[in-house]
A and B are shown apart, each in its own frame.
Chain A
Amino acid sequence: MNPKEYKYTREHEWFCPEAENTGKTGLTKYAENQLGDIVFLDLPAPGTQVQQFEKMGEIESVKAVTDLFSPASGKVVEINTEAVDNPNLVNEDPYGAGWLVRLELSKPSELDALMSSDAYGKYVESLSHESTE
């Protein structure tokens, strides 16, 4: 269910590479499911410089709040204003219409530190085992 061509972080963000060192990022299905109904997105303004694995925003669901970390260093070039207006898009379509931030990468090689879809799938499985024990 996690798109093959995406890369993943341990904090449950995905990165989808696009042309010329840019790409989109968002929350994974697992994160969306853990949070439940998302009602507020606090996303960085376009132009903001972000560092890999550092906080760049906040996601509020009815039940909880979580930080949004950047999967790679670079500059925010666009945010998904449709999702800001309708945060439930992240629940409905976390890998598509519910994307959050478009980044221009300053160090594309950093992406090597992210997980493949298979590795992330196994990582999530290990987490759900922990929580049922």
Chain B
Amino acid sequence: MELLKKTPLNGIHHDLKARMTDFAGWELPLWFTSILEEHNAVRSQTGMFDVSHMSRVQVSGKKAGQFLDKLLTRSVRRLEIGSSQLCLLCMEDGGILDDLWVYHVGVDEYLLVWNVGDIERKLNWLLRWSESDPDISINNTTDETAMVAVQGPAVCQLNSMKALCILSRYGHVHAKVNKLDMFGARTGYTGEDGFELISSTADASPLWRILMDQGVKPCGLGARDVLRLEAGMMLSGQDFNTSTNPFEADLAWLVDFHEGNFVGKASLLEIRRRGIKRKLVGFKVKGREIARSGYSIFKSGQEVGNVTSGGYAPALGVSVGLGYVPVELSSIGTGIDILIRGKMVSAQIVNRRFYKKGG
């Protein structure tokens, strides 16, 4: 059996008796006490997640910006130092390799934070397109750093986060958290206010303890998945992959066709002209059954698509999900059926922002 990779917080997770799971080759907490309790902490107070498995790659050098503009679906040209944006990495045919956050950290210096799945392939993709240009330096810092997401409406009531609360949304800064050096960004994956903190591996455990002492609840991947689904956020590799394009995945807003000439742009323009046949939608199940990833979607007895993410949404008290259906069935209000372990269950297509902060 392959040994699982461990984050710098692995020991603390075991001390806290977390239920651990294998996530893309990393041993990570699935839950500490209960997914519902952890979900509730993030929706009502504050919770924190060990996201050290997320891949962190520095891209720097005189041609760093030019290089990223060649690969990313949104230009970094107008991204100010101290700000960040979500964008896509597409293949030549327009298929999505990943979604990622690009942080402009300094002159000719960027940080990419992306998903752990398929990491070798993505790193090779960067190396391939940089063509060993001495003016582009690519440095994978994942193993030298730790990353913790602190999320929830009360995040700015925490003493330790005071220095970060000056940030605007997507802003980032180097700051001290109780004397620990951090890179902090006002980003997240829960639909709540919050920060993502990157520290040295040595500072990870002290940071976690400081936050615990201030009442921040340790949360696992189970709660993280429920929270992101409620907020209508997609999971790369599950809700989209290299065989889906941004139009199908309802991610065209992350593609800037006006500037630059990034990999995949020609194909995407062609796809836009031709139109798409299927589209990702959100749905709400009528009943309490859970439509999980991989289940088939039907219309009038015909199989028309499949569920890519699905689960119980505690904030709403219903079961929701994301999935692909033919474009003509993708409008809000359309009724569909989902085959849930041998039983046809009715569902309705709804706005996929199932949960809205404060609403």
Kindly report which residue of chain B lies nearest to residue A62, judged by CB atoms. Answer: B35
Minimum distance in angstroms from A63 CB to a CB of chain B: 5
B19 touches A (CB below 8 Å): yes
Q: What residues on B are CB-neighbors of A37 within 8 Å?
A: 34-36
Do residues A36 and B289 form an inter-chain contact, with CB atoms below 8 A?
Answer: no
Interface residue tally on B, bucketed by range = 10 to 19
The total of chain A residues at the interface (CB under 8 A) is 12
Known A-B contacts A60-B290, A62-B36, A62-B226; the reply to A36 vs B312 at CB < 8 A is no
Kindly report which residue of chain A lies nearest to residue B292, judged by CB atoms. Answer: A65
Do residues A58 and B35 form an inter-chain contact, with CB atoms below 8 A?
Answer: no
Q: C-beta contact mask, A31-60 vs B, less than 8 Å → 1, else 0?
A: 000001101101000000000000000101
Do residues A36 and B31 form an inter-chain contact, with CB atoms below 8 A?
Answer: yes
B288 touches A (CB below 8 Å): yes
Q: What residues on A are CB-neighbors of B292 within 8 Å?
A: 65
CA distance A42 to B35 in the complex (A): 21
B77 touches A (CB below 8 Å): no
Kindly report which residue of chain A lies nearest to residue B35, judged by CB atoms. Answer: A62
Minimum distance in angstroms from A27 CB to a CB of chain B: 16
CA distance A58 to B314 in the complex (A): 20
CA distance A94 to B82 in the complex (A): 52
Interface residues of B in 270-295 (CB under 8 A from A): 288-290, 292
Q: What residues on A are CB-neighbors of B31 within 8 Å?
A: 36, 63
B341 touches A (CB below 8 Å): yes
B188 touches A (CB below 8 Å): no
Do residues B35 and A60 form an inter-chain contact, with CB atoms below 8 A?
Answer: no
Q: What residues on A are CB-neighbors of B290 within 8 Å?
A: 39-40, 60, 65
Q: What residues on B are CB-neighbors of A62 within 8 Å?
A: 35-36, 222, 226, 311-312, 314
Do residues B222 and A40 form an inter-chain contact, with CB atoms below 8 A?
Answer: no
Do residues A40 and B311 form an inter-chain contact, with CB atoms below 8 A?
Answer: no
Interface residues of A in 62-108 (CB under 8 A from B): 62-63, 65, 88, 91
Q: Can you name 19 A-B pairs with beta carbons within 8 Å?
A: A36-B19, A36-B34, A36-B35, A36-B222, A37-B34, A37-B35, A37-B36, A39-B312, A40-B289, A40-B312, A60-B289, A60-B290, A60-B312, A62-B36, A62-B312, A63-B31, A65-B341, A88-B36, A91-B34
